[in-house]
Amino acid sequence: MKHYFVTGIGTGIGKTIVSAILTETLKADYWKPIQAGELDNSDSMKVHSLISNKTSFIHSEAYRLSKSMSPHAAAKTDKITIDLKKIKTPNTSKTLIIEGAGGVMVPLNNKQLVIDLIIKLKAEVILVVQNYLGSINHTLLTYEALKSRKIPIAGIVFNGKPTPSSEEFILRYTGLKCILRVNVEKIIGPKTIVKYSKQVKL
């Protein structure tokens, strides 16, 4: 089955919400290989609370780091080193949604980045984009980094306030398709996830 790696152009732009939507749409399993900080309210716990289907399984993290920092720094604080060889894809017969930590060039140790983990896991990327000043630049840089390493990209999810001029340019430049548009929501709960799960175009 397919493995989709949900990454973004930065931190705090909606990867977890998008991961929950995709998990619900595909009745997929979910896996966050590296959780840095918020261990009592982890992304795995958030996704579990948001999905409604009874078939998705939330797999345990490979690394649970105590501080909300870049993984390489959080691991150093915990006196460990993230070893990509020890990160094994969970055994599942279902589609797997893998949520990354930060963006693709975030360091995991002294030499390797999130993008190296994507290559190791042989996953297809879903890129989450949110509009802010500089977001076009960050989106295109992320696209070029993935393209240069021949990593397949399934498409883009736009999250937040719609910005047609930016979105149209990004889609035209990259040639990628828009999988989903997630608008600003006052409350995000299971009903919201179900609503958007019906709009996904993969």
Point out the residues that are catalytic.
32
Among candidates 162, 67, 62, which has minimal Cα distance to 117?
62
Q: Is residue 77 within a helix (H) or strand (E), and if so which, with residue range?
A: helix 71-77
Report long-range pairs for 186-195 (Cβ below 8 Å, ≥24 apart).
Answer: 188/17, 188/50, 189/50, 190/49, 190/50, 190/51, 190/52, 193/17, 193/20, 193/21, 193/24, 193/50, 193/51, 193/52, 194/24, 194/52
